[in-house]
Chains A and B, each alone.
Chain A
Amino acid sequence: MARTATSQRLFNSTGKYVVLVLMAVIALYPIFQMWMTALRPSNEILRSPFALPSTLDWSNLATAWTTGRFGTYLINSVIITIPTVVGVVVLSCLAGYGISRFKFKGRNIMFMTILLGLTVPFQSVMIPLYYQLLNMGLLGTYWSVILPGIAFGLPFGVFLMQSFFEDLPHELAEAGRVDGCSEFKIFKDIMLPLAKPAVSTLIVFQFMKSWNEFLMPLLYLQDENMRPIPLGLMFFQGAYTRDIGLIAAGVAISTVPVIAVYLIFQRQFVKGLTAGAVK
């Protein structure tokens, strides 16, 4: 354990744990306290804001769910997120495979054009896209955030899948070719199943990105019945500024699903968010 030996001198051991635990508290406490507050009656919160719930009170959560329409927002988020993730994953796998495995005219220019998107923020297209969606008759429909959402997922998705397919051995595809399979069949039946780790990273990453998207629905989905969770939460906060119990309930409903998914798939999350940074 050469590493441990190095370590002991860099930091005093107890002090180290104190700092690490303190950091963990800083990261978790605000979220934890919000959940606790969501479970307390509003009058009790005003008396002692940071106490733990004496008895569990579900009324704030119920009010947020029904009156605050978080039930609707949750469904909207699902309606927007699923097609976006499916679109990004399907198109990225196809394109990433095509770029990494074939040499054809226009390959480099197509790839570079898509990669450029990694550095262009959504704000740089939001204005003309608004009028484009209006002219296409899509503004105010779920498609107005799904279609651009897919386009914006592609630069990272294609980049990720391309570098993954590039590293796979070529011999497998050759075997399929000798057997007379079509190129699409080779992709679908031989290569794609091998790409599972990269695909699951991309699914989780894109899920989180779409689930948390804010500016796009703020601009293109003006109907309050179609708001996804982040947008709903912002308007909810504006409407109930003084009722911290209700706001906490809104936060709890917004955070529990995404944290649950994170805890289940944390390896893919970390990989997705740090891909590119660590290579």
Chain B
Amino acid sequence: MAQQSRRGSQRQKAGFWFVLPAFLFYVAFFAYPFLSTVYLSMTEWNGIGDPKFTGLTNYVRLVQDGAMWSALTNNVIWVVLGTAAPIFVGLIISVMLWTGVKGAGVFRTIYFLPMVLSPVVIGVIWNWIYNPLFGLLNTGLRNVGLGKWAIGWLGETETALYAVLLTAIWTYMGFCIVVLYAGLQKVDTELVDAARIDGANPWQRFKNVIVPQIRPVLTMVIVYTVIGGFNVFDVVWVMTGGGPNNASEVIATYTYEVAFQNSENGYGATLSVVMSFVALGAAYLAMKFRRAGEA
């Protein structure tokens, strides 16, 4: 057709000029700094003068860095609970909506609302909920006679991470509900009815008929929360700053401290390189799990 002709291939070249501006922008402020990060990760540099090349020294240090491992452990806890909890709630609520309720659209709008707020705003709101003296949580506990449970949730090393994590779960629940609800719209209800006639109980129908049909959507939600869990920064920084005593430190807050408070740019870069690959690897595994499920 026209594409084979000279004029046609001339025409195809126009596409290059459409893509070029975006590509240049992306290279200048994203791809190039990313490659610089990889280079910096093999140097020692306090930001003044030239970086000193040190090979894999930073990576050796990273493997032996206890603070890094405890931060990474917190990320793993975050990824596991921060994925399981909102998906658990999301599945229950979205199936309830899907089975037909009045005002499903209104519920959906409300559930999704926290997701549009800045994590900073959410952190400030929950700082107030957790406030030891006048916060919603402790006031509530005192009112029902559980005053001895009223502790400084964000100030105790045992609870700080989980208190911040609960905030994130609160934010992501609505997202999970809405995405899973959208996935449920494509479920074949005849299959569900057939299973019911065959005597499958509600749990069996859910597990064996509904879940396999929404599996792609479920995987995407998991990829989203897994990547989010490895990269989390804002809400932790606003609520605890990684404290007390590094109890709620995650890789992103640790990287920030190393690079911008201690001026160890080289080692900070090493941390961010490793973090990107951990998130990427986890996301890749989740996608693979999805393909395996389809095959």
A binds B: yes
B260–A7 CB distance below 8 A:
no
Q: For residue A105, which residue of chain B has the nearest CB?
A: B16
B125–A151 CB distance below 8 A:
no
A233 to B: closest C-beta gap in Å: 6
The stretch of B60-68, B76-84, B148-156, B173-181 that contacts the partner chain:
B173-181
B252–A97 CB distance below 8 A:
no
Residue from B11, B23, B107, B265 within 8 A of A20 (CB atoms): B107
Q: Number of residue pairs across A and B with beta carbons under 8 Å?
A: 303
A233–B124 CB distance below 8 A:
yes
Tell me whether A6 and B15 are in contact in the complex, defined as CB-CB below 8 angstroms, given that A219-B260, A277-B217 are known contacts: no
Q: Which of A111, A123, A262 has the most CB of B within 10 A?
A: A123
> Which residues of the partner chain A approach B244 to less than 8 Å between Cβ atoms?
none
> Which residues of the partner chain B approach A128 to less than 8 Å between Cβ atoms?
33, 36-37, 40, 269
Tell me whether A30 and B129 are in contact in the complex, defined as CB-CB below 8 angstroms, given that A98-B15, A98-B18, A212-B119 are known contacts: yes
Q: Which of B12, B112, B128, B174 has the most CB of A within 10 A?
A: B128
Tell me whether A101 and B15 are in contact in the complex, defined as CB-CB below 8 angstroms, given that A33-B136, A46-B134 are known contacts: yes
> Which residues of the partner chain B approach A34 to less than 8 Å between Cβ atoms?
125, 128
Residue from B12, B29, B34 within 8 A of A103 (CB atoms): B12
**Is B96 on the interface with A (CB-CB < 8 A)?**
yes
A30–B126 CB distance below 8 A:
yes
Within 8 A of B (CB), among A11-30: 11, 16-17, 19-20, 23-24, 26-28, 30
Whole-angstrom CA separation of A101 from B255 in the bound complex: 42
A16–B112 CB distance below 8 A:
no
User: Interface code B12-51, partner A: CB below 8 Å = 1, 0 otherwise?
Assistant: 1111111101110111111111101100100000010000
Q: For residue A8, which residue of chain B has the nearest CB?
A: B99
Whole-angstrom CA separation of A272 from B12 in the bound complex: 30
> Which residues of the partner chain A approach B283 to less than 8 Å between Cβ atoms?
119
Residue from B101, B205, B280 within 8 A of A16 (CB atoms): B101
B189–A6 CB distance below 8 A:
yes
A208–B276 CB distance below 8 A:
no
Tell me whether A106 and B16 are in contact in the complex, defined as CB-CB below 8 angstroms, given that A11-B99, A50-B136, A123-B252 are known contacts: yes
**Is B97 on the interface with A (CB-CB < 8 A)?**
yes
A229–B118 CB distance below 8 A:
yes
**Is A124 on the interface with B (CB-CB < 8 A)?**
yes
B124–A251 CB distance below 8 A:
yes
Tell me whether A27 and B33 are in contact in the complex, defined as CB-CB below 8 angstroms, given that A20-B101, A251-B121, A269-B116 are known contacts: no
A119–B279 CB distance below 8 A:
yes
Q: For residue B96, which residue of chain A has the nearest CB?
A: A16
Interface of chain B, helix or strand or loop or mixed? helix
B29–A183 CB distance below 8 A:
no
> Which residues of the partner chain B approach A95 to less than 8 Å between Cβ atoms?
18-19, 21-23
**Is B245 on the interface with A (CB-CB < 8 A)?**
no
Whole-angstrom CA separation of A2 from B99 in the bound complex: 10
**Is B243 on the interface with A (CB-CB < 8 A)?**
no
B140 to A: closest C-beta gap in Å: 9
User: Interface code A206-228, partner B: CB below 8 Å = 1, 0 otherwise?
Assistant: 00100110110001000000000
A151–B116 CB distance below 8 A:
no
Whole-angstrom CA separation of A77 from B163 in the bound complex: 29
Within 8 A of A (CB), among B105-133: 107-121, 124-129, 131
Tell me whether A250 and B124 are in contact in the complex, defined as CB-CB below 8 angstroms, given that A4-B99, A277-B221 are known contacts: yes
> Which residues of the partner chain B approach A278 to less than 8 Å between Cβ atoms?
179, 182-183, 217, 220
**Is A150 on the interface with B (CB-CB < 8 A)?**
yes
Within 8 A of B (CB), among A95-149: 95, 97-99, 101-107, 110-111, 113-114, 117, 119-121, 123-132, 147-148
User: Interface code A237-278, partner B: CB below 8 Å = 1, 0 otherwise?
Assistant: 100000010011011001100110011001001100110111
Whole-angstrom CA separation of A34 from B123 in the bound complex: 13
B275 to A: closest C-beta gap in Å: 6
A102–B12 CB distance below 8 A:
yes
Tell me whether A102 and B14 are in contact in the complex, defined as CB-CB below 8 angstroms, given that A16-B101, A117-B30, A262-B113 are known contacts: yes
B188 to A: closest C-beta gap in Å: 10
A6–B118 CB distance below 8 A:
no
B29–A230 CB distance below 8 A:
no
B6 to A: closest C-beta gap in Å: 15
Within 8 A of A (CB), among B155-176: 170, 173-175
20 A-B interface contacts by CB (under 8 A): A2-B190, A3-B100, A6-B192, A7-B100, A11-B99, A23-B173, A26-B170, A121-B279, A127-B265, A128-B37, A129-B29, A187-B18, A214-B119, A214-B120, A214-B233, A247-B124, A248-B128, A262-B116, A273-B112, A278-B179
Q: Top 9 nearest A-B pairs by Cβ distance?
A: A102-B15, A98-B18, A7-B99, A128-B36, A151-B29, A212-B118, A95-B22, A125-B33, A230-B120
> CB within 8 Å of B: which residues of A?
1-11, 16-17, 19-20, 23-24, 26-28, 30-31, 33-34, 45-46, 49-50, 87, 91-92, 94-95, 97-99, 101-107, 110-111, 113-114, 117, 119-121, 123-132, 147-148, 150-152, 154-155, 158, 177, 183-184, 187, 208, 211-212, 214-215, 219, 229-231, 233-234, 237, 244, 247-248, 250-251, 254-255, 258-259, 262-263, 266, 269-270, 273-274, 276-278
